[in-house]
């Protein structure tokens, strides 16, 4: 009984020796069955299982039943490079964090993934409260963030906008609280920032691509060791992952930072992860499924999305990369991932007044 996030169910039951058992699902005709009785591929909604027994004399028992609700489809919305700071000016091309946050409020997803560089320029707590808070902070209760580089920005130069800004991404960890690093309750500075959670029938992994801040990103680093353990513990689920710096990008970040996340990709590919979502480049881009070396692999590859479209500004294309299927450089919005038990649908949702979109579907490996 109650609500479950899986589209399958198993029922065990028994009767006196020699009795014939009959089962029914959702009011259908009773049919002969044995225990356990398995069902799969159940649609979202309420379901009722019923079982009865008939003895050799033709006497039928009272029907035993169980009602439950399947809610296995979940929606995740993601974008990065989001809120301007005090130096920002709202124009059609900059500081559109309120417009993108309106999408989150109107679409009412189950979870929101800010993909790093959530608050410019330095990610101080006061900046979060003043700029991010009134926009994306409206969905803080369902937010599962990851870190970009601006969360860590600080400087000893009096001419730098981040002069004497707090170090260790303390503004980020204080603002998002335990959601920012759930394995370290109460941590407010220099926290790990990598973790995982379940969403509907899916497993979601959040990584920290600021490798120099957390002991590295290699397979043998603390984060890499944790990732291997987390993947092994959730091997049966459809899985997606997100972090800030993309492994591949037709913007500048994919060339600058790609070596940082090689190990992420290899470990995720080995575990047959479905999709990776990144930001850093202020563009939208979708790649075909690829292996860790960037080769096309439609059978087992990871599909990468870049959604650096959260509101700060736009970037251009530097060099179109192999297997890049869709690119856009002038539209703010968010990537909507509808996660089903055996696959997912994606849709880029633009802010009001914009028309670019991109959508499709994929099955889990």
Question: pLDDT tens digits, residue range 122-174?
Answer: 999 999 999 999 999 999 999 999 999 999 998 889 998 888 888 999 999 99
Reported as a single tens digit per residue, the pLDDT across 288-305 is 999 999 999 999 999 999
Residue pair 101/343 in contact by the 8 Å Cβ criterion: no
pLDDT at 285: 98
Q: Is the pLDDT of residue 19 over 80?
A: yes
The dihedral through the CA atoms of 152, 206, 117, 103 has a sign that is: negative
DSSP string, 48-67: EEEEEEE-TT--BPPPEEEE
pLDDT tier for residue 71 given thresholds of 50, 70 and 90: confident
Mean pLDDT computed over 172-195: 98
pLDDT tier for residue 327 given thresholds of 50, 70 and 90: very high
> Residues of 109-148 as b/e, b for ≥16 C-beta within 10 angstroms?
bebbbbbbbbbbbbbbbebbeebbeebbbebbebbbbbbb
Any idea of the CA torsion for 284, 285, 289, 292, to the nearest 10 degrees? -100
Distance CA 195, CA 184 (A): 10
pTM, 2 dp? 0.90
Instruction: Please name each of the domains of the chain with its CATH number.
Output: 3-70 (2.60.40.10), 74-363 (3.60.21.10)
Q: H-type helices in 156-290, by residue range?
A: 170-176, 222-233, 253-256, 262-270
Single out the residue of 209, 210, 183, 211 nearest to residue 197, CA to CA. Answer: 183
Residue pair 318/251 in contact by the 8 Å Cβ criterion: yes
pLDDT at 257: 62
Distance CA 75, CA 301 (A): 22
Lowest mean pLDDT among 50-54, 173-177, 253-257, 283-287: 253-257
Mean pLDDT of the chain: 96
Mean pLDDT computed over 13-26: 93
pLDDT at 260: 82
pLDDT tier for residue 76 given thresholds of 50, 70 and 90: very high
Going by DSSP bridges, is the β-strand pair 333-340/303-307 parallel, antiparallel, or unpaired? unpaired
Reported as a single tens digit per residue, the pLDDT across 220-248 is 999 999 999 999 999 988 999 999 999 99
Coil, strand, or helix at residue 248?
A: coil
The dihedral through the CA atoms of 36, 39, 45, 46 has a sign that is: negative
């Amino acid at each position: 009984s109650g609500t479950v996030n899986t589209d399958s169910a198993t029922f065990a039951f028994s009767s006196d020796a020699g009795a014939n058992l009959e089962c029914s699902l959702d009011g259908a005709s009773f049919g002969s069955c044995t225990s356990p009785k398995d069902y799969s591929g159940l649609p979202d909604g309420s379901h009722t299982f019923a079982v009865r027994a008939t003895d050799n004399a033709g006497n039928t028992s009272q029907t035993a039943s169980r009602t439950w609700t399947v809610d296995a489809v979940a929606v995740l919305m993601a974008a990065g490079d989001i809120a301007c700071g005090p130096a920002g000016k709202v124009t059609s091309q900059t500081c559109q964090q309120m417009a993108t946050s309106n999408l989150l409020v109107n679409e009412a997803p189950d979870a929101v993934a800010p993909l790093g560089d959530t608050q410019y320029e330095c990610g101080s707590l006061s900046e979060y409260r003043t700029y991010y808070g009134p926009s994306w902070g409206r969905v803080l209760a369902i937010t599962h963030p990851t870190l970009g580089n601006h969360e860590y920005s600080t400087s000893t130069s009096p001419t730098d906008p981040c002069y004497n800004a707090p170090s260790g991404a303390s503004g980020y960890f204080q603002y998002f609280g335990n959601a920012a690093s759930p394995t370290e309750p109460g941590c407010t500075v220099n926290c790990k920032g990598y973790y995982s959670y379940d969403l509907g029938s899916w497993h979601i992994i959040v990584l920290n691509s600021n490798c120099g801040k957390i002991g590295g990103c290699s397979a043998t680093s603390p984060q890499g060791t944790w990732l291997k353990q987390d993947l092994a513990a959730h091997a049966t689920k459809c899985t997606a992952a997100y972090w800030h710096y993309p492994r591949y990008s037709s913007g500048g970040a994919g060339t600058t930072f790609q070596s940082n996340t090689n190990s992420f990709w290899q470990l995720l590919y080995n575990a047959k992860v479905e999709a990776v979502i990144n930001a850093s480049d202020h563009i939208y881009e979708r790649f075909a499924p690829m292996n860790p070396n960037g080769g096309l692999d439609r059978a087992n590859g990871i599909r990468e999305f870049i959604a650096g479209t959260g509101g700060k500004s736009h970037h251009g294309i530097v060099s179109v990369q192999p297997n890049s299927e869709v690119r856009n450089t002038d539209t703010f919005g968010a990537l909507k991932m509808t996660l089903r038990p055996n696959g997912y649908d994606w849709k880029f949702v633009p802010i009001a007044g914009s028309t670019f979109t991109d959508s499709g579907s994929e099955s889990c490996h």
